[in-house]
Amino acid sequence: MNTIYLLTMKYISTRGKSQNLQFEDVLLTGLAPDGGLYVPKEWPILNHSKLKNDKYHKIAAEILYPFLDSFVSYDDLIKLTENAYRSFDVEEMAPLVKLEENRYILELFHGPTLAFKDFAMLLLSELFDLSLKKRNEKITIIGATSGDTGSAAIEAFKNSQNVNVFIFFPKGRVSEVQRKQMTTTDGQGVFPIEIDGTFDDCQNIVKDLFKDKNFNNEVKLGAINSINWGRIAAQIVYYFTSFKLLNNGPVSYSVPTGNFGDILAGWVAKKMGLPIKSLMIATNENDILSRALKTGIYSIDKTKATISPSMDIQISSNFERLLFEAYKRNASNIEELMNTLKETKEFKIEKNALNFIKNDFLATSISEKETKECIADVYKKTGYILDPHSAVGYAASKLMDDISGSIVTLGTAHPSKFPIAVEDSINIRPDIPERLKKIMNKSENFSKMEIDLKKIKNFISKNIK
């Protein structure tokens, strides 16, 4: 072990009213009672140069251990991470593919649902089951998805005896493959729910349900969206492993970004001591984060439907965690900003806070046309097929030419999950892996609901096991 950390890692809320919680409490509740998001009270430091060239699950255990306080022993955590990642189809877990000079794709789609969300969700299910068995309790997980989170959660928790899962997804705004991954499961206690609205509507439903303390206590709510700190922690790992694969040279990352969780994990890796040069926030035409960094105004616009639907988000929840750091952990400032956002749909980031963010982050928006052109250009030059989300990241990486060293784009999904978008770009449908072929002709089973909290609460109450 080469991590410097407090023996009693504690967690606090970005809005100040929840203090000194243990990891297990943060894991099971997800969203803080004050509406804020949990963050570690202090950041552990890790000597990345001493990380062994070991199997992914062992590196994961070393990086994650300081965040878990006394929840699990180090040896047991190694067993837990090994079990979580047993269903990946490549030994490297997160292989690095060179496409051009100093440009790489980090393939994060070799898990059971062919998307990067598997890294966090499979680990989360193991942690949940460990805690719930120890407590002899059951929990009701709710989550909003713009595509991949839902399928990853359902796959990870479908055989759990301690968890009910209710996933809200926006009508007509996920790909057919993404929808079928959610709606063809044979698992018990799993309920995909199509909401007549946008992803942001689905996310607001989750937040409103958590704010209802009586309902929360009645069904024992837990969260698996990236508002859950456990999700962020799991995603830190592949920044370290990819950096190691590049022999510790200068590296920057371009990250397809919607809810800001995956790129926040990269920033946390940097806080832990990984010498990342820059982090590119790569958005599609839903460009709230790009606009915020350019203007200092975080302003909600109408959500646009794009060929990269998992990024069709206006309210990037995890950005609150970064704002908390940018405002020097002043919780009252964050509460004021979030209240202003709720009332006026925008807020202004003060100059010092904005400079803090710009010190580590770049940001740009990639259009639909640019996304398709990127897929076509990369295929023509290399024969490699990008999915539209990864293409947004790769196109954005081209704007980092003045940065020395390697540039890694996070490949967040397998192209076969978005066959229409890929075919429109290169006139070729990507090959469908066997694990996807099995679900395409299966019958679907899901519920359809309006944005009606009372009816949604009743549905959840009636269906928990």
How much of the chain, in percent, has pLDDT values that exceed 70?
Answer: 98
Residue 280 is predicted with a pLDDT of 98
Separate counts of helices (H) and strands (E) for the chain: 19, 17
Residue 120 is predicted with a pLDDT of 95
Residue 41 is predicted with a pLDDT of 95
Residue 446's alpha-carbon distances to 125, 166, 168, 171, 441, in angstroms, are 22, 10, 10, 12, 15
Residue 398 lies in a domain: yes
Residue 177 is predicted with a pLDDT of 87
Helix (H) or strand (E) holding 369: helix 368-382
Residue 437 lies in a domain: no
CB atoms within 10 A of CB 226: 27
Query: SS3 of 195, please?
Result: strand
Q: What average pLDDT does this structure show over 59-82?
A: 94
Comparing 39-43, 96-100, 426-430, 439-443, which segment has the lowest mean pLDDT?
Answer: 439-443
Q: What average pLDDT does this structure show over 47-60?
A: 90
Place of tokens 């430091």: 45
Tokens of 417: 């999950």
Residue 395 lies in a domain: yes
Say if residues 282 and 252 touch (Cβ distance below 8 Å): no
Residue 6 is predicted with a pLDDT of 46
| Mean pLDDT (the chain, rounded) | 93
pLDDT at 7 over 60: no
Separation between Cα atoms, residue 325 and residue 41, nearest integer Å: 11
Confidence category of residue 50, pLDDT binned at 50, 70, 90: confident
Residue 370 lies in a domain: yes
Q: Which residue type is seen at 395?
A: A
Residue 191 lies in a domain: no
Residue 374 lies in a domain: yes
Residue 2 is predicted with a pLDDT of 55
Residue 77's alpha-carbon distances to 73, 125, 139, 155, in angstroms, are 6, 13, 22, 21
Residues known to be catalytic = 117
Say if residues 393 and 254 touch (Cβ distance below 8 Å): yes
Residue 298 is predicted with a pLDDT of 98
Query: SS3 of 182, please?
Result: helix
Burial 247-276 (b: 16+ CB within 10 A, else e): eeeebbbbbbbbbbbbbbbbbbbbbbbbeb
Confidence category of residue 224, pLDDT binned at 50, 70, 90: confident
Separation between Cα atoms, residue 277 and residue 215, nearest integer Å: 45
Structural domains in the chain (count): 1
Q: What residues pair up with 222 in beta bridges, in sequence order?
A: 141
pLDDT at 108 over 80: yes
pLDDT at 348 over 60: yes
Separation between Cα atoms, residue 148 and residue 174, nearest integer Å: 9
Q: What domain range includes position 302?
A: 96-114+229-426
Which domain CATH number covers 106? Answer: 3.40.50.1100
CB atoms within 10 A of CB 166: 25
Residues 111, 158, 178, 447, Cα dihedral to 10°? -170
Q: Which residue type is seen at 366?
A: I
Tokens of 393: 């990241």
Select the more confidently predicted residue: 5 or 191: 191
Residue 220 lies in a domain: no
Residue 342 lies in a domain: yes
Separation between Cα atoms, residue 158 and residue 313, nearest integer Å: 26
Say if residues 276 and 266 touch (Cβ distance below 8 Å): yes
Select the more confidently predicted residue: 295 or 188: 295
